[in-house]
Chain A
Amino acid sequence: MKILQFFRKRASANAARERLQVLLAHERASISGVDIVSVLREEILTVIGKHVQIDGRRVNIRMDRGMRVSTLGVDIEIPFDPGMRAA
């Protein structure tokens, strides 16, 4: 019991340390102007916005900043109107 408790508890300070390391690595980079994940997100939305009207409620963006790899997920519902004809 005591040992189990020890491991459970150890986890909280360790979790704090690891979360801070990842977060600060990204924040330090973004303050000098290059949070690449955010830049990509902005540009991708701009490009898509040029071709279709993006409805803010139909956009789902997920970012996960990791120590070595980050992921960016962009899900956009693109409305299709069959009544509209090509010019």
Chain B
Amino acid sequence: MGKVIVVTSGKGGVGKTTSTAAIGAALAQAGQRVVIMDFDVGLRNLDLVMGAERRVVYDLINVIEGEAPLAQALIRDKQLENLFLLPASQTRDKDKLTPEGVEKVISALKKVFDWVICDSPAGIERGAILAMRNADAAIIVTNPEVSSVRDSDRIIGLLDTKTVKAEQGERLEKHLLINRYDAARAADGDMLNVDDVVDILSIPLLGIIPESVNILRASNIGSPVTLCESESGIARAFFDSARRLVGETVPIIVPEEKRGFFGKFFGRKAA
């Protein structure tokens, strides 16, 4: 039986979709069968980040409404044959996404895939609750910045009350993913550091993802950063996070401010 993960944050634009794609691909690259599901009805983006936007025929609501069989709505990745995408609907009424429908689709996917990763919409409304409802574990994506941390705290509260797991009195596994970390700014004291964020939210740390220019390149070409820039620092951070997710012990290395020779010389940060 596969494991259902929700990637959530409360606050918008912190990197849920980017992380869903990167970690989903990393797991698939390690040989796992993975499906990533977009829950952002009307604002879907996972198809773009995966470079699959031109191949979307059916979406989650079509499947729930019985207009398409699940197998036909799944889009296979261009490069990884064991990675699939289930797109969100761009045009349909959000109310068509029902708890019963979502539950049915997820339980069917769990039988076939090792990982079902749900990319949550921002906010704490219906869409976000539906995305987290059937999760076995959650990845809470947080930027080291006050409003993002506050919203993460709110989402953690909801994960403890609004999920099926919580209702059954079970504990939902929670993992903190700190994204857009800038070691130089944290060292200067202008950015909350890793310890601050972990202390405040008090959930285990899955990984520290640096601020990186590779993300823009990856989204330009429509491929997860773990696939198209697999040697980059940010890809390594996602690979490590994916390994921790499957239960491996990988030491967490807090990125330090790196100043290369020229960086030092000219007082600039090295990439």
Taking a contact as CB atoms closer than 8 A, the residue among A10, A17, A27 that contacts B192 in the complex is A17
Q: Which residue of B lies closest to A32 (CB)?
A: B157
The answer for the CA separation of A57 and B190 in the assembled complex, in Å, is: 40
Judge whether A17 and B150 touch: CB under 8 Å.
Answer: no
Complex CA gap A6/B153 in Å reads: 30
Task: Using CB atoms, name the residue of chain A closest to B186.
Answer: A13
B158 nearest in chain A by CB position: A31
Cβ contacts under 8 Å, B199 to chain A: 17
Using known A-B contacts A20-B150, A27-B153, determine if residue A13 contacts B200 with beta carbons closer than 8 Å.
no
Q: Given B145, B149, B154, B189, which contacts A9 in the complex, CB threshold below 8 Å?
A: B189
Instruction: Tell me the minimal C-beta distance from A41 to chain B in angstroms.
Output: 22
Complex formed: what's the CA distance from A24 to B192 in Å? 16
- List the A side residues contacting B196 at CB < 8 Å: 13, 16-17
| Interface residue? B191 (CB, 8 A) | yes
Q: A9-B189, A12-B190 are in contact. Are A17 and B200 (CB under 8 A)?
A: yes
> Given B145, B154, B189, B193, which contacts A11 in the complex, CB threshold below 8 Å?
B189
B193→A13 contact, CB < 8 A: yes
A28 at the interface (CB under 8 A from B): yes
